[in-house]
């Protein structure tokens, strides 16, 4: 039986970094479910129908070079609000979670919808200002000209869409453990997550 770790949270909270580190530490497979929605968003920006793009998604689509762009991120948030898109991607995510080695899935609704029976559920968050600062620095390093105020506005707009959508809104599962990374280093946040998971598995860190 696969051991499943569900890690949810808003954009730029650190859940991707934590998820990759957790998977590496325990030898689990990792799925960044946000890439699925980014890949659909990228295909929609190219003129595709959202639901058809989700149904026809291939592994190659997850390797596209533009998936980390701000434009694709916003498109991903919009298509993720569509029930038809979410339904088309549910089976893929649940199938991954059944992997024999154990699995870490990070996204927006893993602990609430995709894997409600996950062995460990974490909700990774941080203040909008901290997350906007992180995203601003990332984009600046990539050569983006967006101002901090624009990035903060985008972060808040995306939060509003994700938290208020009718289908699978972003929220912590009732039994999720929250990790606020606003004042934590990467190493501290990762250590906290590993500690929670190790305790659930009856292991010492």
The residue with tokens 């070079």 is 65
48 is an annotated ligand-binding site residue = no
- φ, ψ at 104 (rounded to 5°): -120, 120
10 is an annotated ligand-binding site residue = yes
199 is an annotated ligand-binding site residue = no
Task: Determine the pLDDT at residue 205.
Answer: 64
Q: How far apart are CA 89 and CA 42, in angstroms?
A: 15
83 is an annotated ligand-binding site residue = no
Strands laid side by side in the 120-125 sheet? 29-32, 103-107, 4-8, 120-125, 177-180
126 is an annotated ligand-binding site residue = no
173 is an annotated ligand-binding site residue = no
In the CATH scheme, what is the code of domain 4-198? 3.40.50.300
The residue with tokens 């997850």 is 62
pLDDT by position in tens, the chain (length 205): 589 999 999 999 999 999 999 999 999 999 999 899 999 999 999 999 999 999 999 888 988 988 988 899 889 989 988 999 999 999 889 989 998 789 999 999 999 999 999 999 999 999 999 999 999 998 888 777 789 999 999 999 999 999 998 888 999 999 999 999 999 999 999 999 999 999 999 877 6
CA-based radius of gyration for the chain: 16
171 is an annotated ligand-binding site residue = no
11 is an annotated ligand-binding site residue = yes
- pTM > 0.85: yes
pLDDT tens for residues 131-185? 999 999 988 887 777 899 999 999 999 999 999 988 889 999 999 999 999 999 9
What residue segments make up the domains of the chain, in order of their start? 4-198
DSSP strand E in 48-143: where?
103-107, 120-125
15 is an annotated ligand-binding site residue = yes
């Amino acid at each position: 039986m696969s051991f499943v770790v569900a890690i949810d949270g808003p954009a730029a909270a650190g859940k991707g970094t934590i998820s990759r580190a957790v998977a590496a530490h325990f030898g689990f497979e990792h799925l960044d479910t946000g890439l699925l929605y980014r890949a659909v968003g990228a295909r929609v920006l190219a003129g595709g129908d959202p639901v058809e793009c989700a149904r026809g998604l291939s592994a190659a689509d997850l390797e596209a070079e533009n998936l980390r762009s701000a434009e694709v991120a916003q498109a991903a948030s919009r298509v993720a609000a569509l029930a038809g898109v979410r339904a088309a991607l549910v089976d893929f995510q649940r199938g991954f979670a059944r992997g024999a080695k154990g699995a870490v899935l990070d996204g927006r609704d893993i602990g609430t919808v995709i894997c409600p029976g996950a062995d460990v559920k974490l909700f990774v968050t941080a203040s909008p200002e901290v997350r906007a600062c992180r995203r601003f620095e990332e984009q600046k390093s990539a050569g983006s000209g967006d101002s901090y105020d624009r990035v903060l506005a985008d972060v808040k707009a995306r939060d509003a869409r994700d938290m208020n959508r009718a289908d699978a809104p972003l929220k912590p599962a009732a039994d999720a453990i929250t990790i606020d990374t606003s004042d934590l280093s990467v190493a501290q946040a990762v250590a906290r997550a590993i500690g929670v998971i190790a305790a659930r598995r009856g292991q010492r860190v």
